Structure 1
Amino acid sequence: MNTALYFAKRYLFSKKTVNAVNIISGISVVGVLVSSASLIIILSFYNGLEKLIFSMYSAFSPELRIEPATGKGFVADSALTAQLNNRPEISNYREVLQERVLLRYGDAQYIATIKGVTLDSTIPQSMDTLLQDGHFALQYDGEEYAVMGARVQGMLGVSLRDESRFIEVFSPRKGVRSGINPMDDFTMRTIRPGGVLRYQQEFDDLLIVPMAFAREAVGEFSRVSAIEINLMPGSDVAAAQRALSTLVGNDYLVKDREQQNPTLYKIVRTEKWAVFVIIAFTGIIALFNIVGSLTMLVIDKKKDISVLMGLGANDGLIRRIFFYEGLLISLIGCVAGLVLGLLFCISQQALGWIRFGEGENLVTDVYPVDIRYSDFLLVFLTVFAISALISLVASRLSVKQTVRLS
């Protein structure tokens, strides 16, 4: 039997001679409870926002993307496409051609990125959830349409209701010297606007068009910028990435979603852990209440300490008693806070009573929550480590003078 732990439990739950000791101990427990619950709630809410942002990005971004290791494009020959067709884990793929172009709509002009995609592959219906207006259709009844980013639409003032006006796309002619008429140096094509994507940094400057239109507009008829690949449901993305990297060789890069847009993933995760550190510091302040609680308890149990020393207890045993006392206070508060935070997150998932403000134009008006049990382990270990350090220091400082006097 652990003697120090036994005495610590008795001291924690027994009535103290000074009522202030009970109050201070209760304040310490509540402080740890509130900080632990806050950590879990904040992490779960950030997990939900992270999942929502990544799901929106994933609807537009392929699971894997093949790009040239050097240069802006490559030739997708029959040998490469045959290798992709023979991979059982690949659901579909599409060739992509991207280039900077000048757009004009009426009197407004804007430099954007044209993105041509092949139409022989199925465009995911989930892309319709990214639309602010219109439809994600690049070809309808034999006519070609363009889907643009929100910034392109805003800068040009494009109206999807005005069917008489088209977007003009200008691109420099390749291999043509400057002539007397500057317009002879550019290729100009027109296309009807069909949809506007929601405001999101990743595709605000895009003008998505059929591949045939993009090739004519930029004057590139053989090369592509990338091949975007979607895998079969349940496929191991990391394993497929390694296999494709071996298949295509060192002349190409095979990127997953995080590698395609590292800035987005880094920002989202950095914000989450920055908030975690800030809330953890507030929890550390709450844990310092243990110092006052242990100091008052040592004063209250001065006679007990004298009796224990008379029975042969050494300084180490006395310190361990109050060290375990501090740990019990923090762990009880931590466990209660984790349970309270879990119940709060479950109620938010079920009832959705915390909502975004009206008019935010988001996919959902309810704050998303994603409960991850790794966060519970992280919070528990964080509280345990900090409380163990504080309890160790507090028990040594509080007991030192009392033991000397005893």
Structure 2
Amino acid sequence: MNVSLYIAQRYLRSKSSNNAINIISKIAILGIILGAASLFIVLSGFAGLKDFTLQFSTVVDPDLKAETAVGKSFFITDEDLNKLNDLDAIAVFSKIIEERVIIASNDKNYLATIKGVDVNFKNVVTIDSVISQGSWLDQKTNQIVVGWGISNNLSFGVLDYAKTINLYVPKPGKGQITSIENIFNTVNANNVGIFDINENLNDTYVFASIGLVQNLLNYKPNQISSIEFKLKKGADELKAKENIQAILGDKVVIKNRAQLNDALYKMLNSENLLVYLLLTLVSGLLIFNVIGSIIMMILEKKQSLKTLFNLGFTIKKIRNIFFIHGSVMTIIGSIIGLLIALLVVVIQKTFGLVPITPSLAYPMSILLENFMIVFFTITVLGIIASKVASNRVTKKLIQS
């Protein structure tokens, strides 16, 4: 066995005759444990919060979406549709038309986004799971499904026949306006369902059949805004994107779920990085107690070090004793801290002791990458601290 490693292990296991050094050593290893545990718990909390936030948006987000590259719409041929149907990676796809629309009811007006969908839409995304009242719409009807926010703002419910609902879209064209009929295309609609996803989507979207929206916008049968895809389980997303792009050409841009929620992903990742850096700084301050612990031990073992030096140990080998001592202490403290943190996270996931609301526990998510990040961060900080402290061993110090 390496002599420096053997002596470092002896120093790690044995107690000092000076009680103050024992206390400082315990504080140092406690700082490592707390640093590792707190960092892992917070990262697990942010991972859980990220999953919790994204689960609502992904309810209505497909695996892939082909959006028009220029303008508001593009044309698709029957040949293109047949080629898309033949792709092995695609389970199902839905043609979509989206446009801004004015909803009028009871002398109230509301600006929303109407999303015309075909019969395959509810197979592409799990829209049925978020309909809190009523049911999903039927094709070839004037039925709509709105968000909670729109329903509350316009004060209408499900199958509320006593209240008229009109959808307005400005007509394209030029020339002098002679009457209100020349300004807007309008359709009378019937609300059959209310969905509840999140505040933003609840206040924004109205779902309708693709035929209704085509008539409202004066679109041709093969004119659409986008196509949403659900991939088969285990399908290669990148290859699927390439195949879709090859069929539809440059008239569309293909986006995956992360790209569709680009702003949300960036915000969550930025917050996660900021908290990680702050906690790393705090952990660094705690771990640098290792420096004090090692320096105190160097001073206490001064006579022993002098003996080792006289026996032929070089200054580098003596420094290695304390470098190894601090590094091993850091690794042990990191492992203990991670085990404690894992226990805390499991308890929170199981029993929900810390709530966000009375009915909702704070979400936690256990990720292998967070284990690796925390272990690497704490270990690197501990090694740096050990290196700084071990460099206090000098020939002058030993011989004095």
* 1:119-141 Cα distance to aligned partner (Å, 9 max, x none): 2554468323334x41451128x
Alignment CA distance shift 1:203-1:252 (3 Å)? farther
Task: Indicate if the aligned counterparts of 2:74 and 2:251 stay in contact, CA closer than 8 A.
Answer: no
Measure, in 2, the Cα distance between the counterparts of 1:176 and 1:106: 31
Task: Indicate if the aligned counterparts of 1:298 and 1:402 stay in contact, CA closer than 8 A.
Answer: no
Q: Please, what TM-score do these two structures have when normalized by structure 2?
A: 0.92
Q: 1:182 Cα deviation (Å)?
A: 3.2
Alignment CA distance shift 1:236-1:52 (3 Å)? farther
Alignment of 1:275-294 (within 5 A): 275-294=275-294
Tell me whether 1:119 sits opposite 2:113 in the alignment.
Answer: no
**2:142 corresponding residue in structure 1:** 144
Tell me whether 1:156 sits opposite 2:150 in the alignment.
Answer: no
Counterpart AA for 2:165:
I
Structure 1 unaligned blocks of 5 or more = 360-364
**2:365 corresponding residue in structure 1:** 370
**1:237 corresponding residue in structure 2:** 237
Alignment of 1:46-65 (within 5 A): 46-65=46-65
Measure, in 1, the Cα distance between the counterparts of 2:336 and 2:396: 32
Tell me whether 1:134 sits opposite 2:129 in the alignment.
Answer: no
Does the residue aligned with 1:356 lie in a helix, a strand or coil?
A: strand
171-180 vs 325-334, which moves further: 171-180
348-357 vs 285-294, which moves further: 348-357
Measure, in 2, the Cα distance between the counterparts of 1:32 and 1:296: 18
**2:165 corresponding residue in structure 1:** 167
Does the residue aligned with 2:250 lie in a helix, a strand or coil?
A: coil
Q: 1:22 Cα deviation (Å)?
A: 1.0
Q: 1:276 Cα deviation (Å)?
A: 1.5
**2:351 corresponding residue in structure 1:** 351
Task: Indicate if the aligned counterparts of 2:115 and 2:207 stay in contact, CA closer than 8 A.
Answer: yes
Measure, in 1, the Cα distance between the counterparts of 2:296 and 2:352: 44
Task: Indicate if the aligned counterparts of 2:32 and 2:286 stay in contact, CA closer than 8 A.
Answer: yes
Task: Indicate if the aligned counterparts of 2:124 and 2:229 stay in contact, CA closer than 8 A.
Answer: no
Structure 2 unaligned blocks of 5 or more = none
Task: Indicate if the aligned counterparts of 1:27 and 1:289 stay in contact, CA closer than 8 A.
Answer: yes
**1:86 corresponding residue in structure 2:** 86
Q: CA RMSD in A?
A: 2.2
Counterpart AA for 1:216:
N
Measure, in 1, the Cα distance between the counterparts of 2:205 and 2:214: 16
Alignment CA distance shift 1:128-1:35 (3 Å)? farther
Does the residue aligned with 1:67 lie in a helix, a strand or coil?
A: strand
Q: 1:346 Cα deviation (Å)?
A: 2.3
**2:184 corresponding residue in structure 1:** 186
Alignment CA distance shift 1:124-1:197 (3 Å)? farther
Measure, in 2, the Cα distance between the counterparts of 1:383 and 1:340: 15
**1:390 corresponding residue in structure 2:** 385
Q: 1:28 Cα deviation (Å)?
A: 0.9
Task: Indicate if the aligned counterparts of 1:146 and 1:195 stay in contact, CA closer than 8 A.
Answer: no
Task: Indicate if the aligned counterparts of 1:174 and 1:219 stay in contact, CA closer than 8 A.
Answer: no
Measure, in 2, the Cα distance between the counterparts of 1:20 and 1:230: 65
Does the residue aligned with 2:282 lie in a helix, a strand or coil?
A: helix
* 1:347-387 Cα distance to aligned partner (Å, 9 max, x none): 2333333332127xxxxx23332211121111111111111
Q: 1:402 Cα deviation (Å)?
A: 6.1
